[in-house]
Amino acid sequence: MNTQPLKIAIAGLGTVGGGTVHLLHDQAALLAQRAGRPLTMVGVAALEKPVDLPLGGVPFFTDARVMARDADYDVLVELIGGAGGIALDIVKTALGRGRSVVTANKAMIAHHGGELARLAEANNAVIGFEASVGGGIPIIKSLREGLAGNRVTQVMGILNGTCNYILTTMREQGRDFSDVLAEAQALGYAEADPSFDIDGIDTAHKLAILASLAFAMPLDIAAVAAEGIRHVSALDIRYADELGYRIKLLGVARLTDDGVESRVYPAMVPLSFPLAHVGGVFNAVVTEGDFVGRTVLEGRGAGARPTASAVVSDLMDLARGRATPTFGVPVAQLAARPAAPSGAHHSAYYIRLMVRDEPGVFADIAAALRDERVSMEQIIQRGRAPNEIVPVVMTVHETDEASMLRAVARIAALAAVAEPPRIIRIETL
Amino acid sequence: MNTQPLKIAIAGLGTVGGGTVHLLHDQAALLAQRAGRPLTMVGVAALEKPVDLPLGGVPFFTDARVMARDADYDVLVELIGGAGGIALDIVKTALGRGRSVVTANKAMIAHHGGELARLAEANNAVIGFEASVGGGIPIIKSLREGLAGNRVTQVMGILNGTCNYILTTMREQGRDFSDVLAEAQALGYAEADPSFDIDGIDTAHKLAILASLAFAMPLDIAAVAAEGIRHVSALDIRYADELGYRIKLLGVARLTDDGVESRVYPAMVPLSFPLAHVGGVFNAVVTEGDFVGRTVLEGRGAGARPTASAVVSDLMDLARGRATPTFGVPVAQLAARPAAPSGAHHSAYYIRLMVRDEPGVFADIAAALRDERVSMEQIIQRGRAPNEIVPVVMTVHETDEASMLRAVARIAALAAVAEPPRIIRIETL
């Protein structure tokens, strides 16, 4: 057994980098005991040397490329971020030198994971990316190792803490999206440019990674259809409450007879389903395997300390010599699967219309649904307000998406319908 | 990398053994791809050869001891059960031969884990016991590897599917304990002698294993105080509902200033806490780590297929050469920790009294609580029924257990109190 120190070079000393330095420093004795060898920082790189980190005499680099190329390390920890650029450059440099890589960079893995895995295999190196999905939740390890005996048929989850915080706060405080988003930005929970989170792009990156692992198929970020939470209104959240649902931004990947569905969308989740109770910045992932059945893993999806916990779990695997192919099997054995056509998706739906309250409008709406063979489950309309614009909420039984969209297009074209209809999928699990 | 088949001998072909044979057979190609080598059965042992398992020409032994001693295997899978006896014998034989062991046997690990871990270390063998706790949930792997960067301060969970099924059914159907137990026995969900499950012994075994892993301390099953669910009544479950709680049998291990608390007891869990929503035969484990914060892992806690999933995950680790010391660190480095004195436990409590409805009785009860400095939170008594026996339910604020027990003893001695008071801890997390 190797008892030499594991030599670690860290590129990027922002939130996660700082947390990782603190963890390696604060728990050094514990880590050495569990790993059977010390975990030693041999280099750190950042644009400016931070004054508040316990770095002691660890060599400091202002150029991460120089560190990646010249320093003597066993593993490069990439915590700079971004799909390409310097992050990708230094990871390739490290792998090319036969050094392993640990990263929290979901954008880079989602866009370049296949290429990087091939490079790692060619150079007998390992890529750890536990921190790229679900913060501190050991979901990558669970999919790749703990559930390795299963054919996974579905993986879905709440994968973006910013969105879950916004949706949870909107519900608890009855506030509007833009209002809560502005507050989250002021508090540092959301970025100045929030689109990466709230348009579902971050969730799509994470879902692509999970789908590749779950179904042993090559990464395909282009196959993930992403819809965010900008259009979720306080009104829809109130109706969801009334109907016994919570609205959550989900990433869902499932094997169907029509192919693989990989989608990100806000959904109504019944209170009987575990994801309904995952609030605030927590993330959770539900996996369905043919032997294990359903498992749910929940924890903090972001933040310096939880993400550092995941980074260090990868370092501990490297220190112990525990290795697994990047996506569970060698890259050459990943098998592409066809994407399911979007119109084939089956789901129940919530529909909210803003309608002028006038005679005959219900008949027109019902006819549009009937003509597309969409079966109404319930309808909510409170009181009468002749000639005013009022909300009308319906739920419909499971139907294919193509029929649903045709019915909604017909409804949207009715003269009495004052705004574009809002439709939200209902998860029936 | 080793590409020879991993040679597997399976002792015990009951529920879990049968499930494991099915998994190894049904998913052979998938497992070989993920492990980088075939997983091959080279022997099975049982009292009678089952006719319904896909065993092909795998050599069959009626004496597991002979197989353990003579067969040429890399890993012995022990699925016979029982803390000692033949299970313990064959595991020692295998380890003594330098062969690894995979087991689902929580009783054996809880009682002999330290000795077996020492034997494994001395012979350069590995013990996998993922299947011993939480069925298919990858909780051992998560504690030992995924959360290895953390100092764990608490691990608690719903660890016995039989008890959770009984409690869930009592609540959903408003039925009594003995009634639901009898039904569970008829359905095969509970044993003919159910005491192992319903008196909390099985949960205590699992908790002792989790506590050893979480706190890197030697196994100490004697330190776990176990209380079961025989005394949980339909009436208490109704009151719990009304107060916003679910009653769950919990195993709880936590580090406190007074030492380690390891206890099994039925508790009232607030609906805001994830464990409240874990129903039926599902298990779940909550871990608190100093960097990761809270994680929750949930899944099927028993059954042929989920447990086989866990057994095979250990086999996949062996096949890939991924090894970890049995309890996370070498046995010699496990450090005993003092057990916290039981009276020091702090908790809020639910108290149900059966009281003769007569003047002055409330004053006596309130005085007993006041004298022991136990602070009442709320009291429920419906209507009046002079001189009848009526239920009176109270909740009290967090207090130490010793004071609580003194107060309850005084209350029990009051002439108007007709039955022994029932007290149930309230988890305030």
Nearest-CA residue of chain B relative to A34?
Answer: B329
- What local confidence, expressed as pLDDT, does residue B323 receive? 94
Side by side, which strands form the sheet with B127-128?
Answer: B60-61, B39-45, B6-11, B75-78, B100-103, B127-128
Q: Is residue B73 part of a domain?
A: yes
Task: Retrieve residue B103's tokens.
Answer: 């087991």
Nearest-CA residue of chain B relative to A271?
Answer: B277
**Residue A189 and residue A221 share a domain:** yes
Q: How confident is the model at residue A428 (pLDDT cuts 50, 70, 90)?
A: confident
Residue of A139, A140, A145 to mutate when probing chain B, most B C-beta within 10 A: A145
Q: Is residue B70 part of a domain?
A: yes
What gap in Å lies between CA A77 and CA A9, rounded to an integer?
Answer: 6
Q: Which of B33, B34, B306 sits opposite A292 (nearest CB)?
A: B306
Do B322 and A145 count as a contact with CB atoms less than 8 A apart?
A: yes
B246 inside 8 A of chain A by CB? no
What gap in Å lies between CA B105 and CA B132, rounded to an integer?
Answer: 5
Q: Which of residues 11-50 of B touch A (CB under 8 A)?
A: 19, 23, 27, 30-31, 33-36
User: Where is B394: in which H helix or E strand?
Assistant: strand B389-400
B352 inside 8 A of chain A by CB? no
How high is the mean pLDDT in each 10-residue block of chain B (429 residues)?
93 97 98 97 96 95 98 98 97 98 98 98 98 97 98 98 96 96 88 92 98 96 96 96 96 94 97 92 97 98 95 98 96 94 88 92 92 93 85 94 95 95 90
E-only strand ranges, A181-280: 225-226, 245-256, 259-270
Q: Is residue A164 part of a domain?
A: yes
B364 Cβ partners below 8 Å, 6+ apart? B411, B414, B416
Distance from CA of B35 to the nearest CA of A (A): 8
E-only strand ranges, A273-322: 282-289, 293-300
B66 Cβ partners below 8 Å, 6+ apart? B45
User: What domain range includes position B392?
Assistant: 343-426
Neighbours of A143 (CB within 10 A): 27
Q: What is the CATH number of the domain that holds B390?
A: 3.30.70.260
What gap in Å lies between CA B68 and CA B99, rounded to an integer?
Answer: 10
- What local confidence, expressed as pLDDT, does residue B192 receive? 84
Task: Retrieve residue B42's tokens.
Answer: 């080279």
In this complex, how many residue pairs, one in chain A and one in chain B, have their CB atoms less than 8 Å apart? Answer: 196
- Structural domains counted in chain A: 3
Query: Which ipTM value was assigned to this complex?
Result: 0.95
DSSP for B183-209 reads HHHHHTSS-SSTHHHHTTHHHHHHHHH
**Residue A124 and residue A144 share a domain:** no
Do A149 and B322 count as a contact with CB atoms less than 8 A apart?
A: no
**Residue B155 and residue B294 share a domain:** yes
Task: For A214-233, write each residue's pLDDT tens digit.
Answer: 999 999 999 999 999 999 99
- What local confidence, expressed as pLDDT, does residue A191 receive? 83
**Residue A182 and residue A93 share a domain:** no
Do B313 and A149 count as a contact with CB atoms less than 8 A apart?
A: yes
**Residue B286 and residue B146 share a domain:** yes
Q: What is the CATH number of the domain that holds B101?
A: 3.40.50.720
What gap in Å lies between CA B129 and CA B143, rounded to an integer?
Answer: 12
B317 inside 8 A of chain A by CB? yes
- The whole-number average pLDDT for the span A284-297 is 98
A288 inside 8 A of chain B by CB? no
Which class for A356: exposed (0-12), middle (13-18), buried (19 or more C-beta within 10 A)? middle
Task: For B298-349, write each residue's pLDDT tens digit.
Answer: 999 989 999 999 999 999 999 999 999 999 999 999 999 999 988 788 899 9
Distance from CA of A285 to the nearest CA of B (A): 10
**Residue A168 and residue A128 share a domain:** no
Q: Which residues on chain A are in Cβ contact (under 8 Å) with B290?
A: 305
Q: Is residue B127 part of a domain?
A: yes
Nearest-CA residue of chain B relative to A143?
Answer: B138
Calculate the alpha carbon distances from A311 to A22, A158, A160, B113 in Å: 12, 20, 18, 30
- What local confidence, expressed as pLDDT, does residue A359 receive? 84
Do A138 and B146 count as a contact with CB atoms less than 8 A apart?
A: yes
Residue of A291, A300, A331 to mutate when probing chain B, most B C-beta within 10 A: A291
Q: What is the CATH number of the domain that holds B269?
A: 3.30.360.10
Distance from CA of A38 to the nearest CA of B (A): 13
Q: How confident is the model at residue A188 (pLDDT cuts 50, 70, 90)?
A: confident
Distance from CA of A17 to the nearest CA of B (A): 14
Q: Is residue B32 part of a domain?
A: yes
A308 inside 8 A of chain B by CB? yes
Which class for A317: exposed (0-12), middle (13-18), buried (19 or more C-beta within 10 A)? buried
Q: Is residue B336 part of a domain?
A: no
Pairing, β A259-270 against β A282-289: unpaired
Check whether A343 has a pLDDT greater than 90.
Answer: no
**Residue A289 and residue A145 share a domain:** yes
**Residue B121 and residue B96 share a domain:** yes
Backbone angles phi and psi of A349, in degrees to 5: -140, 150
Task: Retrieve residue B227's tokens.
Answer: 């209380």
Task: For B139-165, write each residue's pLDDT tens digit.
Answer: 999 999 999 999 999 999 999 999 999
**Residue B146 and residue B122 share a domain:** no
Q: Is residue A333 part of a domain?
A: no
Do B320 and A316 count as a contact with CB atoms less than 8 A apart?
A: no
The answer to whether B206 is a known catalytic residue is yes
Neighbours of A173 (CB within 10 A): 12
Calculate the alpha carbon distances from A46 to A18, A50, A60, A104 in Å: 11, 8, 8, 16
Neighbours of A268 (CB within 10 A): 25
Q: Which of residues 68-107 of B touch A (CB under 8 A)?
A: none
B172 inside 8 A of chain A by CB? no
Task: For A115-136, write each residue's pLDDT tens digit.
Answer: 999 999 999 999 999 999 999 9
What gap in Å lies between CA B389 and CA A395, rounded to an integer?
Answer: 49
What gap in Å lies between CA B8 and CA A306, rounded to an integer?
Answer: 38
- The whole-number average pLDDT for the span A199-211 is 98
Q: Which residues on chain A are in Cβ contact (under 8 Å) with B36?
A: 325, 330
The residue from B132, B148, B171 where one domain ends is B132
**Residue B371 and residue B260 share a domain:** no
Neighbours of A382 (CB within 10 A): 9
Distance from CA of B291 to the nearest CA of A (A): 5
Neighbours of A357 (CB within 10 A): 17
What gap in Å lies between CA B111 and CA B205, rounded to an integer?
Answer: 8
A215 Cβ partners below 8 Å, 6+ apart? A152, A253, A255, A260, A337
Task: For A154-163, write each residue's pLDDT tens digit.
Answer: 999 999 999 9
Q: Is residue B315 part of a domain?
A: no
The residue from A243, A274, A300 where one domain ends is A300
B288 inside 8 A of chain A by CB? no
Q: Which of A145, A310, A317 sits opposite B313 (nearest CB)?
A: A145
Which class for B149: exposed (0-12), middle (13-18), buried (19 or more C-beta within 10 A)? buried
Check whether A206 has a pLDDT greater than 90.
Answer: yes
Task: For A27-68, write each residue's pLDDT tens digit.
Answer: 999 999 999 999 999 999 999 999 899 999 999 999 999 999
Residue of A295, A298, A300, A334 to mutate when probing chain B, most B C-beta within 10 A: A295
pTM: 0.96
**Residue B94 and residue B11 share a domain:** yes
B27-35, long-range: CB < 8 A, 24+ apart: B27/A149, B27/A150, B27/A151, B27/A291, B27/B312, B30/A151, B31/A148, B31/A149, B31/B312, B31/B316, B31/B319, B33/A216, B33/A329, B33/A333, B34/A148, B34/A216, B34/A328, B34/A329, B34/B316, B35/A148, B35/B6, B35/B316, B35/B319, B35/B320
B299 inside 8 A of chain A by CB? yes
Task: Retrieve residue A385's tokens.
Answer: 């307000």
Task: Retrieve residue B363's tokens.
Answer: 């004053």
Task: Retrieve residue B197's tokens.
Answer: 């499950």
Please provide the average confidence, as pLDDT, over all residues in chain A: 95
- What local confidence, expressed as pLDDT, does residue B120 receive? 98
Q: How many angstroms from the chain centroid is the CA of residue A409?
A: 30
What gap in Å lies between CA B10 and CA B302, rounded to an integer?
Answer: 19
Instruction: Give me the half-sphere count of Cα atoms (radius 13 Å) on the Cβ side of residue B151.
Output: 10
What gap in Å lies between CA B298 and CA B306, rounded to an integer?
Answer: 12
Q: How confident is the model at residue A344 (pLDDT cuts 50, 70, 90)?
A: confident
Nearest-CA residue of chain A relative to B130?
Answer: A146
The residue from B265, B300, B335 where one domain ends is B300
**Residue A293 and residue A156 share a domain:** yes
Distance from CA of B31 to the nearest CA of A (A): 6
> Which residues are bridge partners to B246 per DSSP?
B269
Instruction: Find which of A18-27, A47-56, A187-196 is predicted with most confidence, using mean pLDDT.
Output: A18-27
Active site (catalytic) residues of A: 206
Nearest-CA residue of chain B relative to A326?
Answer: B34
B336: left (phi over 0), alpha (psi -120 to 50) or beta: beta
Task: Retrieve residue B90's tokens.
Answer: 């064959």
| A342 vs A142 pLDDT, higher one | A142
Do A138 and B145 count as a contact with CB atoms less than 8 A apart?
A: yes
- What local confidence, expressed as pLDDT, does residue A429 receive? 67
